[in-house]
Amino acid sequence: MRKYICFLLLLCCAVCQGENRPVNLIFDTDMAPDYDDVGALAMLHAMADLGEVNILATVSSNKCETAVPCIDVINTYFGRPDIPLGAVKGEAPDRTTWHKGLRWTDELPSRYPHRIKSTSASDNAVNVYRKVLSGMPDGSVTIVTVGFFTNLKNLLLSGPDQISPLTGRELIKAKVKQLVSMAGKFPEGKEFNVEVDAKSSQQVFSEWPTPILLSGFEIGEQILTGKQLAASRQIGSPVIDAFAMCLPQDDPNGRNSWDQTAVLVAVRGTGDYFDVERGTMTVMDDGSNRWEKCAEGMHARLLFKMPKEQLTGIIEDMMMHKPLSQSKQ
């Protein structure tokens, strides 16, 4: 019982909008199959410029060779070229965009400055995780994953090394406050991030030692953003370029904001934005998931609270944020 009480207290702290700022955050993305990742990373930089978040590292769970260069482009555009970068190694998903014609995953690295030329040239994401986590105070780091769970599984399974005498699980338990993820379809179904590497997803959701807050498929599906962004005449923005290239092939009224909702609550908490329901998410062998509502559950999922139109405006405004260097001009 004491264990459950302690866990629930941690979960309450994780899902409520806290007073400790900035949030120390690691961003784990599958940058390439879809471009909501671009919007999510732009939001993180907008909130970093407001002093709300400290972006500790950005890593890719996708082996696509342009994934890390695209992350690097966005970090550099927003004036943070030195954020540590990493990528999944070994057996892992390799997915690129499905868009035709001008492919944003190729165009962004060809148009904008960046230092990492390919995903395979990046540091091992597990090493990046271990270095960052080992240097942080206990219980101080929020991890946001808006992609596959391969990196997190590899981190869980990592052993003591020259970076830290702790195992991956011990390091997570000591340093991580919460995991926030765009994952799952509720109350049950299949969702891309979970399904692509189902074995890794299963292991993470059954063994992760901290609270997990989930923004499910059905949340971002109902929030369309990017129309105003794509219509902007601002030149020289990789964020605008990505949406302008892709929206005509999707819905001209906007793209589903799956990843953006996860980033929003990771930094600002659920607050006035969402309600939460505690429970347990179980991943099946085929990558589908089931949800069991339970007051003592280790997981929590978002439920709508704020009107969707208002959420849309908040996300759109942050995606349109300009780098501080441009704002001062």
pLDDT single digits (tens) 171-181: 999 999 999 99
pLDDT at 321 exceeding the cut of 90: yes
Give residue 327's pLDDT.
64
5 has a pLDDT exceeding 60: no
Position 251 scores a pLDDT of 86
User: What is the share, in percent, of the chain residues with pLDDT greater than 70?
Assistant: 93
| pLDDT, mean of residues 186-191 | 97
Q: Which domains does the chain have, with CATH numbers?
A: 19-321 (3.90.245.10)
Residue 53: per-residue pLDDT: 98
Report the 3 state secondary structure along the chain: CHHHHHHHHHHHHHHCCCCCCCEEEEEEECCCCCCHHHHHHHHHHHHHHCCCEEEEEEEECCCCCCHHHHHHHHHHHCCCCCCCEEECCCCCCCCCCCCCCCCHHHHHHHHCCCCCCCHHHCEEHHHHHHHHHHCCCCCCEEEEECCCCHHHHHHHHCCCCCCCCCCHHHHHHHHEEEEEEECCCCCEEECHHHHHCHHHHHHHHHHCCCCEEEECHHHHCCCEECHHHHHCCCCCCHHHHHHHHHHHHCCCCCEECHHHHHHHHHHHCCCCCEEEEEEEEEECCCCEEEEEECCCCCEEEEEECCCHHHHHHHHHHHHCCCCHHHHCC
pLDDT tens digits, one per residue of 43-94: 999 999 999 999 999 999 999 999 999 999 999 999 999 999 999 999 999 9
**Tens digit of pLDDT for each residue in 86-125?**
999 999 999 888 777 788 999 999 999 999 999 999 999 9
Q: What pLDDT sits at residue 101?
A: 77
Chain mean pLDDT for the chain: 92
